[in-house]
Amino acid sequence: MSLITQAPRGTQDVLPDSSYKWQYVEQTALSIARDFGFHEIRTPVFEHTNLFQRSVGETTDVVQKEMYTFEDKGGRSITLRPEGTAGAARAVLEHGLINGALPVKVSYITSCYRYEKSQKGRYREFHQFGVECFGALAPQADAEVIALAMQILKSVGLTDVALHINSIGCPTCRARYHEALKAYFASYAETLCGTCQDRLARNPMRILDCKSPVCGEIAAAAPVMMDYLCEPCAAHFAQVKGCLDAAEIPYQVDTHIVRGLDYYTRTVFELVSPQGLVVAGGGRYDGLLQELGGPAQPGLGFGMGVERLLMVMEEAGCRFPAAPQCDLYLAPMGEAAVSRCFALATALREGGMTVEFDVVGRSLKAQMKYADKLGARYTVVVGDAELESGVAKLKDMTTGETEEVSLDGGLYTLLRQKTLDRELAGVADLFSNVAEIG
Ligand code: HAM
């Protein structure tokens, strides 16, 4: 039988040598979100298919071409979530949070699934950090979620990601815009791809987001929504910009941002790396909750691709915390020493130390070689003499220096002190990231 050793196309394994980087960006994002009053929500990886049809929209690429949809054993149509907003909105409605104190502010880290052409920075399984704010209509709410996204980037050391913003209006002003778009695209009807020919009648704005190069070229010269905004939408956009200006958050207005999902209204934004990769995207969706059968409450948020964020950080040479290391390798020699070392390792781990100990039954020489491979900072060998005296030698694996230490409380105290000193140095180093930003 042949080995199954290849993951499906468009998926990635996160191996132990890099998972700590994921934990770092995820914890940073969740913690900054908490500072802004957003608290974590966890929703299922699959939902009823019609949730995404109704929210993301029937004419989007995501719904038409990219969803992982299947019938479950009970005959229901189920879809793996292609994004995080719809599930969060559904949960906020289902559990009545929207009827409590407003706004409801949630954050999440989710895996998402889209059957896309896989390429660098575009996967079929990917992860989003996101926030959603339900029940806030004022323009300062838009500025707040944008500021949150920017602060996350800044705190991981990314200062050259550009903020692009646009307004795509509301259903009132969009009706007039749709007419203008239809008139424009009608003259290219024969040239558009099959999907866009259908979109021309049903939802011409979606043509602006088509990935086909031919449609893209035609769309580049199409009328822009900014020229059709109604007075309240234009005023809202002006106030969002006013807040960003006041907080000195630099941005550029990009009238070509339309976003690939149907629920957006008014403000939309994208954070774009110097290489042109969209690290995060979001905006307002004032009609979404109602579309899902809830009250007429507005909403807004953004999603940040974790894979893309890490990729851009690596390209920019951002610093990560040091890879986790083993504080101590305990090497027992003989049966009596094994149980003593096991008890010691358990006590030290309870005290927060990272301790490894021989679970393979290696010779002392092989254990030392393994400790070296692990990158253990210190080793202690425990044999009959150490068991009898209760004193052993703590060896610094970098300098080769040794010092005597009692196997009771002394080992813990000494190790704790050395680890604290190292942690403080690590924090100081990471903070220098922020200090450089100013
Ligand atoms: P989105 O623009 O489709 O928006 O995705 C948000 C982010 O997820 C993108 O900017 C990108 O970083 C990442 N992303 C999307 N597709 C892929 C992929 N195939 N591979 C890798 N990364 C990807 C949304 O999903 C909205 N739910 C965002 C939102 C939240 N809007 C309001 N609230």
Pick the residue whose CA is nearest to atom 6 on ligand 1.
303
pTM over 0.95: no
Is 298's C-beta closer than 6 angstroms to any atom of ligand 1?
A: no
Cα distance between residue 184 and residue 197, in whole Å: 13
pLDDT at 409 over 50: yes
Mutate to test the pocket of ligand 1, among 124, 126, 146 (most ligand atoms within 8 A of CB): 126
**Model confidence at 1, in pLDDT bands (50, 70, 90)?**
low
**How much is the pLDDT for 307?**
98
Residue range 12-32: mean pLDDT, rounded: 97
**How much is the pLDDT for 432?**
65
**How much is the pLDDT for 24?**
97
**How much is the pLDDT for 27?**
98
Cα distance between residue 171 and residue 266, in whole Å: 10
Q: Which tokens go with 129?
A: 């950090």
Is 126's C-beta closer than 6 angstroms to any atom of ligand 1?
A: yes
Q: Among 181, 147, 184, 177, which residue's Cα sits nearest to residue 163? A: 147
* Topology classification of domain 16-170+230-316: BirA Bifunctional Protein; domain 2 (3.30.930)
Is 84's C-beta closer than 6 angstroms to any atom of ligand 1?
A: yes
**How much is the pLDDT for 420?**
85
pLDDT above 90 as % of the chain: 88
Please give the distance of CA 116 from its chain centroid, rounded to a whole number: 19
Q: Which CATH number among 3.40.1280.10, 3.40.50.800, 3.30.70.890, 2.30.30.40 corresponds to the domain 328-437?
A: 3.40.50.800
**Model confidence at 428, in pLDDT bands (50, 70, 90)?**
confident
123 touches 11 (CB < 8 A): yes
Q: What is the pLDDT of residues 265-279, one digit of tens each?
A: 999 999 999 999 999
pLDDT at 438 over 60: no
pLDDT above 70 as % of the chain: 97
**Model confidence at 433, in pLDDT bands (50, 70, 90)?**
low
Cα distance between residue 348 and residue 325, in whole Å: 15
Mutate to test the pocket of ligand 1, among 11, 81, 146, 308 (most ligand atoms within 8 A of CB): 308
113 touches 81 (CB < 8 A): yes
Domain ranges for the chain, please list them: 16-170+230-316, 328-437
Q: Among 164, 98, 129, which residue's Cα sits nearest to residue 22? A: 129
Separation of first and last alpha carbons in the chain = 59
**How much is the pLDDT for 435?**
45
State the greatest distance between any 2 C-alpha atoms of the chain, in Å, as a whole number. 93
As a three-state string, the secondary structure of 185-249 is HHCCCCCCCHHHHHHHHHCHHHHHHCCCHHHHHHHHCCCCHHHHCCHHHHHHHHHHHHHHHHCCC
**How much is the pLDDT for 3?**
76
